[in-house]
C-alpha cells in the first residue's frame, strides 16, 4: 500500500512539474538593465540629458518578457527618485528634456515585466549644459566661410580698380532706349513700383531702378509718372526721384505731384493705373517690384496703348504674364542684381560676383554628390547633413 502511495506521489510530481516551474518563473523578477549611462546631450542648446542602457536579459524572452522600462530621476544620490518617463521594451535610450542646466541629476532604469520590476544600478551625476558649437553643422560653417571669403575678396578686387564682368541684362540695358523713345514721341514715362510696402525686398529693388530711370528722364526732360499703392512707397519714391533730378542737375524740373498715391486696394490700384495709361498714353512703362493678379491687367493695358514695356519681379506665378505682354522682363534675381548693374559700386559688384561664384561652387558640390551617391559612396552627403 505504501508503495502505491509513493508511486502516485511521484506520478503527480512528474505531471505537475511544468506548471510549478511556470508559476515559479512568473513570480521571478526580471533581470535588470545594465551598463546604464547618463550624460549631457551633445550638440544641443542645453536642457536635456541622454540616458542609455543595455536592455535586460529578459527583454524578448517569452513568458518572463520585459514589457518596458521606467526612467527614474533624482537630484540626490540614493533617494528621492521619481518616475519621469516610460519606454517600450527593446529600447536602449531616452533623452530627458525636462531638466535644468547646471543641476546634477542621478538616474535609475527600472525593468518592468507586468508584475514585478527590477532597478538598475544608479548612474550619475549628469549635468545639462548648452554647447557653443553644434559639430553636426560643421559643413554649414565651412559654406559660410567660403561664401563670405569670396564676397570679401571680390569687393577688394573691385575697390582696387579691377573691372568685374557682369552678364548684360537686356531689360536694364534697354532703360535708356525706353526713356529716349518717350522723349522722341513727346510722351511721359510711367513707373509702377509694385503693390507691396517698403518692407518688401522687391519694392526696394524697384525703387533702386526708379532712381536710374528718373535720372535719365531728368536728362532728357521727359515727364515721369509714378503711381503708388502705399503711402510710404510714395514718400520713398519722391525722395529717390528728387535725388535723381539733383544728380542730373535739373532740380527745377522735379514735380512731386507726379509721384502719386492711389489706393491700398489691389484692383482699385490696378484700375487707377489703367486709367492713367489710357489718358496719358505713356511711351515707356516700367513694372518693377512685387505683383500679383493685377500683373496681366496692367501689362495688357500698357500693350494696348503701344508703350515699350520693361518688367521685373521675383513672383514666379506672374513672370509668364510679363514675359508674354512686355518687351523685356527681369526674371527673379536679375531684379535684385539691378542695383549693382546700374551703379557699378564696388561693394555691390563684389557682393554680386561673390554670390555667383559661391552658387557655382555649391552646384559643383551637388553634381559631385549625385555622382558619388550613384556609386554608393555616401561620405559627402553624410558630411553635408546638418542633423
Q: Which positions ≥6 away from 160 have C-beta within 8 Å?
A: none
Q: Rounded to an integer, what distance in angstroms lies between the CA atom of residue 114 and that of residue 58?
A: 12
Sheet-wide strand order for 93-96: 34-40, 49-54, 93-96
Average pLDDT in the chain: 86
Partners of 123 in the beta sheet?
107
Is 86 a member of any domain? yes
End-of-domain residue from the set 96, 127, 158: 127
The number of domains in the chain is 2
Whether residue 255 is found in the same domain as residue 192 = yes
Among all chains, which residue has been given the C-alpha cell 540629458? 49
Whether residue 123 is found in the same domain as residue 174 = no
Is 359 a member of any domain? no
DSSP for 245-300?
HHHTT-GGG--GGGEEE--SSHHHHHHHHHHHHHHH--SEEEEES---THHHHHHH
Is 270 a member of any domain? yes
Whether residue 117 is found in the same domain as residue 203 = no
pLDDT at 292 over 60: yes
How much is the average pLDDT of 284-302? Answer: 94
- How many CA atoms within 13 Å lie on the side-chain side of 228? 24
Q: Rounded to an integer, what distance in angstroms lies between the CA atom of residue 342 and that of residue 178?
A: 15
Q: Which helix (H) or strand (E) holds 183?
A: helix 175-185
Say which CATH number the domain at 324 has: 3.40.50
Q: Which of 153-162, 234-243, 325-334 has the highest mean pLDDT?
A: 234-243
Please name which of 51, 47, 19 lies closest in space to residue 37, comparing C-alpha atoms.
51
Q: Which of 113-122, 172-181, 229-238 has the highest mean pLDDT?
A: 229-238
Q: Rounded to an integer, what distance in angstroms lies between the CA atom of residue 307 and that of residue 277?
A: 9
Is 138 a member of any domain? no
pLDDT at 126 over 60: yes
Q: Which grid coordinates are listed for 27?
A: 513570480
Whether residue 189 is found in the same domain as residue 55 = no
- Looking at residue 358, its pLDDT comes to 86
Is 152 a member of any domain? no
- Looking at residue 386, its pLDDT comes to 66
Q: Rounded to an integer, what distance in angstroms lies between the CA atom of residue 355 and that of residue 171?
A: 21
Whether residue 185 is found in the same domain as residue 116 = no
Whether residue 289 is found in the same domain as residue 228 = yes
Is 203 a member of any domain? yes
Q: Which domain holds residue 258?
A: 167-336
* Tens digits of residue pLDDT in 88-113: 888 889 999 889 999 999 999 999 98
How much is the average pLDDT of 25-48? Answer: 84
* Tens digits of residue pLDDT in 313-334: 999 999 999 999 999 999 888 8
End-of-domain residue from the set 319, 336, 353: 336
pLDDT confidence bin for 27, thresholds 50/70/90: low
**What would the 3-class secondary structure string for 230-258 be?**
CHHHHHHHHHHHHHHHHHCCCHHHCCHHH
DSSP for 127-171?
EB---S--GGGHHHHHHHHHHHHHHHHHHHHHHTT--------HH
- Looking at residue 63, its pLDDT comes to 57
Q: Rounded to an integer, what distance in angstroms lies between the CA atom of residue 122 and that of residue 106?
A: 7
Q: Is 7 helix (H, G, I), strand (E, B) or coil?
A: helix
Q: Rounded to an integer, what distance in angstroms lies between the CA atom of residue 110 and that of residue 31?
A: 10
Is 24 a member of any domain? no
Whether residue 236 is found in the same domain as residue 326 = yes
Is 28 a member of any domain? no
How much is the average pLDDT of 115-121? Answer: 86
Count the neighbouring beta carbons within 10 Å of the beta carbon of residue 324. 12
Whether residue 290 is found in the same domain as residue 213 = yes
Whether residue 121 is found in the same domain as residue 245 = no
pLDDT confidence bin for 26, thresholds 50/70/90: low
Whether residue 102 is found in the same domain as residue 182 = no
How much is the average pLDDT of 288-298? Answer: 93
pLDDT at 155 over 80: yes
Whether residue 108 is found in the same domain as residue 52 = yes
pTM (predicted TM-score) = 0.64
pLDDT at 86 over 50: yes
Q: Rounded to an integer, what distance in angstroms lies between the CA atom of residue 273 and that of residue 225?
A: 10
Say which CATH number the domain at 38 has: 2.60.40.10
Whether residue 229 is found in the same domain as residue 302 = yes
Amino acid at each position: 500500500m505504501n508503495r502505491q502511495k509513493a508511486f502516485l506521489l511521484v506520478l503527480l510530481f512528474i505531471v505537475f512539474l511544468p506548471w510549478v516551474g511556470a508559476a515559479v518563473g512568473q513570480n521571478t523578477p526580471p533581470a535588470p538593465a545594465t551598463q546604464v549611462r547618463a550624460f549631457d546631450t551633445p550638440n544641443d542648446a542645453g536642457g536635456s540629458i541622454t540616458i542609455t542602457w543595455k536592455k535586460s536579459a529578459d527583454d524578448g524572452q517569452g513568458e518572463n518578457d520585459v514589457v518596458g522600462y521606467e526612467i527614474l530621476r533624482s537630484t540626490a544620490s540614493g533617494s528621492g527618485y521619481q518616475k519621469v518617463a516610460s519606454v517600450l521594451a527593446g529600447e536602449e535610450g531616452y533623452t530627458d528634456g525636462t531638466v535644468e542646466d547646471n543641476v546634477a541629476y542621478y538616474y535609475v532604469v527600472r525593468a518592468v515585466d507586468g508584475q514585478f520590476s527590477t532597478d538598475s544600478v544608479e548612474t550619475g551625476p549628469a549635468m545639462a549644459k548648452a554647447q557653443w558649437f553644434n559639430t553636426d553643422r560643421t559643413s554649414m560653417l565651412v559654406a559660410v566661410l567660403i561664401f563670405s571669403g569670396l564676397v570679401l575678396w571680390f569687393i577688394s578686387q573691385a575697390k582696387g580698380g579691377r573691372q568685374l564682368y557682369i552678364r548684360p541684362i537686356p531689360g536694364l540695358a534697354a532703360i535708356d532706349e525706353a526713356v529716349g523713345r518717350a522723349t522722341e514721341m513727346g510722351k511721359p514715362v510711367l513707373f509702377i513700383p509694385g503693390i507691396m510696402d517698403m518692407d518688401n525686398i522687391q519694392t526696394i529693388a524697384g525703387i533702386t531702378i526708379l532712381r536710374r530711370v528718373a535720372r535719365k528722364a531728368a536728362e532728357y526732360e521727359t515727364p515721369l509718372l509714378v503711381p503708388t499703392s502705399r503711402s510710404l512707397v510714395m514718400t520713398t519714391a519722391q525722395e529717390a526721384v528728387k535725388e535723381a533730378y539733383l544728380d542730373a542737375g535739373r532740380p527745377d524740373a522735379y514735380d512731386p505731384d507726379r509721384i502719386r498715391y492711389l489706393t491700398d486696394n489691389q484692383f482699385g490700384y490696378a484700375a487707377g493705373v489703367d486709367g492713367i495709361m489710357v489718358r496719358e498714353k505713356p511711351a515707356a512703362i516700367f513694372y518693377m517690384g512685387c505683383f500679383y493678379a493685377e500683373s496681366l491687367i496692367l501689362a495688357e493695358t500698357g500693350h494696348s496703348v503701344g508703350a515699350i514695356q520693361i518688367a521685373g519681379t521675383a513672383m514666379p506665378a506672374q513672370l509668364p504674364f510679363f514675359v508674354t505682354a512686355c518687351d523685356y522682363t527681369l526674371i527673379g534675381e536679375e531684379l535684385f542684381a539691378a542695383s549693382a548693374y546700374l551703379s557699378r559700386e564696388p561693394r555691390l559688384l563684389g557682393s554680386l560676383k561673390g554670390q555667383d561664384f559661391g552658387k557655382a561652387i555649391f552646384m559643383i558640390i551637388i553634381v559631385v554628390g549625385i555622382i558619388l551617391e550613384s556609386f554608393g559612396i555616401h561620405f559627402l552627403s553624410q558630411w553635408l547633413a546638418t542633423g
